[in-house]
């Protein structure tokens, strides 16, 4: 796809979700463009090196294609860039250190690629969050940063050896102090986590950490992905007690997704009905926001109505009537059986989920 053939004065380019194929060719002659969104297509090949000529570019979304090769160093020339999304591609090689030059950068997502090496942590990159680099098994970072493996270095090893020799003389005392501090730290984290969860959902809900959700989904692996929505993605997870759950992971967009997360928690903590998807817990740590919901084993009404012929034939007239009644009972509860009116603004078959008894449950507020 030769983007440079478009008019050079184009300010906003949005051709996402169009099933475009072919290689992504030159971006030259687009020096005035401010936004490029060609996500969710089937484009292949490397990212053009002349992307650095788009000097006024503020928003770049190349996610969910089949792009390969390395992220070009010239991306560090885009001084106005505020948002980069190259997730769900086949990119490899290191994260270019030139992105440390992007002082305006507020959002970055390189998740679900094959990047390797260390993640630079200079400048504003220190404000990056863990979900910016999900599912890149070859990446590493400084100790404890971004939940990535620690990058080993000879300098670090020599320092650790010297430190261990010095601490050897008083190991007993220091070990005791560390244990005491560790116990206080664990209790502090639990209290802090509980206060965050209770402030959103109230008492009576499970308390699950972001690390437990990460483990339950194998690092939010694509193999566990159930679907994507406008505010995030839903993954299947297996908790420590062997319970299957659905985990709704909200996008890293503080202005929109976080507000949606908070509103959904405030609604769900006040309503109870057999035809609403049961919420089990929430997790809100830093820029990580997730809801833990009961897993609906029979999928959505959308899948039964417009999926394969086997599922369509399995819905008898009686079952269709019962599903309609389930949804109607739920709507009546929200509109008439509560002191405050709740309106579901996105009522559609994909938000009607079926449990093992084919009872309908409404989700996604």
CA-based torsion, 336, 260, 16, 90: positive or negative: negative
DSSP state of 300: B
Q: How far apart are CA 90 and CA 212, in angstroms?
A: 27
Give, in order, the Cα–Cα distances in Å from 138 to each of 115, 117, 118, 325.
6, 6, 9, 51
The torsion of the CA quartet 197, 202, 208, 213, rounded to 10 degrees, works out to -80
In this structure, what token pair is assigned to residue 45?
């090949």
- Side by side, the strands of the sheet bearing 83-85 are 12-14, 35-37, 59-61, 83-85, 107-109
**For residue 230, which of 345, 323, 146 has the smallest C-alpha distance?**
345
Beta bridge partners of 42: 21
Q: Are 51 and 74 in contact (CB under 8 A)?
A: yes
Q: Is 346 a catalytic residue?
A: yes
Q: How far apart are CA 354 and CA 224, in angstroms?
A: 19
Task: Kindly name the residue from 337, 346, 355, 364 that is annotated as catalytic.
Answer: 346
- Strands 59-61, 35-37: pairing kind: parallel
DSSP string, 318-357: HHHHHHHHHHHHHHHHHHHSSSS----S--SGGGEEE-TT
**For residue 296, which of 208, 355, 227 has the smallest C-alpha distance?**
355
Q: How far apart are CA 195 and CA 243, in angstroms?
A: 24
The torsion of the CA quartet 146, 148, 153, 156, rounded to 10 degrees, works out to 60
- Strands 360-362, 352-354: pairing kind: antiparallel
Residues belonging to the active site: 346
């Amino acid at each position: 796809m030769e983007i440079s053939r478009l008019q050079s004065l184009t300010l906003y380019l949005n051709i996402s979700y169009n099933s475009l194929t072919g290689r992504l060719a030159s971006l030259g002659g687009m020096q005035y463009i401010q936004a490029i969104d060609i996500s969710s297509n089937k484009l292949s090949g490397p990212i053009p090196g002349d992307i650095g000529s788009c000097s006024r570019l503020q928003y770049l979304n190349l996610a969910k294609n089949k792009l390969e090769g390395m992220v070009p160093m010239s991306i560090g020339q885009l001084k106005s860039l505020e948002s980069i999304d190259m997730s769900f591609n086949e990119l490899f090689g290191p994260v270019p250190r030139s992105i440390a030059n992007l002082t305006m950068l507020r959002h970055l997502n390189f998740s679900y690629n094959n990047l390797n090496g260390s993640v630079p942590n200079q400048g504003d990159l220190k404000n990056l969050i863990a979900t910016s680099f999900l599912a890149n098994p070859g990446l590493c970072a400084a100790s404890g940063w971004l939940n990535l493996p620690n990058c080993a270095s000879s300098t670090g090893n020599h320092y650790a050896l010297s430190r261990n020799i010095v601490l050897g003389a008083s190991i007993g005392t220091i070990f005791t102090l560390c244990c005491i501090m560790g116990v206080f730290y664990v209790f502090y984290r639990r209290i802090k986590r509980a206060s965050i969860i209770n402030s959103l959902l109230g008492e009576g809900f499970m308390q699950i950490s972001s690390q437990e959700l990460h483990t339950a989904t194998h690092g939010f692996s694509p193999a566990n992905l159930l679907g994507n929505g406008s505010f995030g993605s839903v993954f299947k997870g297996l908790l420590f007690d062997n319970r299957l759950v659905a985990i709704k992971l909200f996008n890293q967009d503080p202005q929109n997704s976080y507000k949606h997360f908070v509103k959904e928690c405030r609604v769900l903590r006040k309503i109870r009905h057999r035809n609403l998807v049961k919420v089990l817990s929430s997790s809100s740590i830093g820029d990580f926001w997730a809801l833990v919901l009961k897993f609906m084993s029979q999928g959505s009404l959308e899948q039964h109505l417009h999926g394969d012929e086997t599922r369509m034939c399995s819905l008898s007239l009686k079952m269709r009537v019962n599903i309609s009644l389930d949804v109607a009972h739920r709507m009546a509860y929200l509109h008439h059986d509560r002191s405050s009116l709740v309106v579901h603004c996105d009522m559609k078959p994909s938000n009607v989920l079926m449990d093992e008894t084919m009872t309908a449950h409404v989700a996604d507020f």
